[in-house]
Structure 1
Amino acid sequence: MTSFIIRDHVSRAAPPSWQTDPDCPFCRIVAGDSPAFRVYENERVVAFLDILPLRPGHTLVVPKRHVKRVSELPGEDAAAVGEVVSKVAGALVKAVGNTALNVVCNQEYAQAVPHVHYHIIPAPTFDSSTKISPPMNEAGTKQVLSHKEMHRKEFESRTELEEEEGEELAKRIRAHL
């Protein structure tokens, strides 16, 4: 009598909320198919360093479930993501020695990867004793830049995170969790 129930259950398609997108770089990281400098992970969320960071410590917090828009993120996942954003932000400020952060989640506009994710980015500091660089003019001397100019220069200077730097930075962040 129960064999038809089992047969129907086994052959049914998984609901969309359980599926991942094989073309999504974040889904590939979640599945372990693509490398990432992971700083935190639980059953619903993963946090890893951005491979093209704006500044050292630029971290992404991503729900494991593939959802394109934060406005469509189920409440349980939204709560889990929020908790991890706070936890990772706390560890990040200790790891980089900078309490100023920019926390951003884009939806469609300026969203490079169509999978919900939060950026936690240390703000620029203008103290030459830190690894986070002050804005420089073309001659390499300190100058006051407009916000627009500073953002343009930061965006243009993005380079891929080096393996050694990524591993060391992820380790420092994890040490403060």
Structure 2
Amino acid sequence: MSGKPCVFCGVVDGGPAHRVLETEDVVGFLDVRPVFKGHVLLVPRAHVVTLPDLPAEQLAPYLGAVQRLATAMVEGLGAQGSFVAVNNTVSQSVAHLHTHVVPRTKGDGLRGFFWPRTKYADDAEAAGYAQRLREALG
């Protein structure tokens, strides 16, 4: 670690975020710079840097949460599908394992691995997206 506190550990510990999923193993929250509105980052509660660092016994709960979020994109946001991605070291902006789960619709303009970013109009709009996803997750 660089000596700087891990921003995702801060979220896990209760820092500000629009949480959509919390279990004993993971926390899912809205990306502050979403590719599309509803873009969620899923992190393990334990600080690990890359997917290969995740203990084997945490793999099923982690990927199960990814699957639930991908389903919530369709059921809660009306997306046609989702894009799921993990960077390991290269292009990993925060050195804490995180999976991007992004709502997708045909013709949304996302091409390849270039991720244009958008913004929520305000905190209330972000809170609305988080609530819709929480409701879809049950």
Shorter-normalised TM range: 0.7 to 0.9
Q: Give me the identity figure in percent.
A: 34
TM-score w.r.t. length of structure 2: 0.87
Q: 1:22, 1:28 within 8 Å by CA — same for their partners in 2?
A: no
Match of residue 85 from structure 2? 104
Match of residue 25 from structure 1? 7
Paired with 1:113 and 1:24, the residues of 2 have a C-alpha distance of 8
Match of residue 17 from structure 2? 36
User: In the TM superposition, what are the counterparts of 1:49-128 in structure 2 within 5 Å?
Assistant: 49-126=30-107
Instruction: Kindly report structure 1 stretches of 4+ aligned residues shifted beyond 3 Å.
Output: none
Match of residue 166 from structure 1? 126
Which amino acid in structure 1 is aligned with residue 52 of structure 2? S
Q: 2:80, 2:105 within 8 Å by CA — same for their partners in 1?
A: no
Q: 1:52, 1:161 within 8 Å by CA — same for their partners in 2?
A: no
Cα-Cα RMSD: 2.2
Paired with 1:147 and 1:168, the residues of 2 have a C-alpha distance of 27
Q: Secondary structure at the match of 2:17?
A: coil
Q: Secondary structure at the match of 1:62?
A: strand
Paired with 1:170 and 1:62, the residues of 2 have a C-alpha distance of 16
Which amino acid in structure 1 is aligned with residue 111 of structure 2? H
Paired with 1:95 and 1:160, the residues of 2 have a C-alpha distance of 17
Q: How big is the shift at 1:147?
A: 3.2
Could you give the per-residue CA deviations for residues 5-36 of structure 1, whole angstroms, max 9, x where no partner exists? xxxxxxxxxxxxxxxx871110000001x200
Paired with 1:76 and 1:161, the residues of 2 have a C-alpha distance of 39
Could you give the per-residue CA deviations for residues 80-137 of structure 1, whole angstroms, max 9, x where no partner exists? 11011111211121112113211001101111001001000112433xxxxxxx55xx
TM-score w.r.t. length of structure 1: 0.69
State yes or no: 1:147 paired with 2:122: no
Q: 1:161 to 1:112 in 2, by over 3 A?
A: farther
Paired with 2:45 and 2:86, the residues of 1 have a C-alpha distance of 16
Greater relative contact order (Cα < 8 A, sep 6+) = 2
Consecutive unaligned residues of structure 2, counting only runs of 5 or more, are: none
Q: 1:53, 1:161 within 8 Å by CA — same for their partners in 2?
A: no
Paired with 2:7 and 2:126, the residues of 1 have a C-alpha distance of 18
Question: Based on CA coordinates, which of the two structures has the bigger radius of gyration?
Answer: 1
Give the number of the structure whose residues are more often strand, by fraction: 2
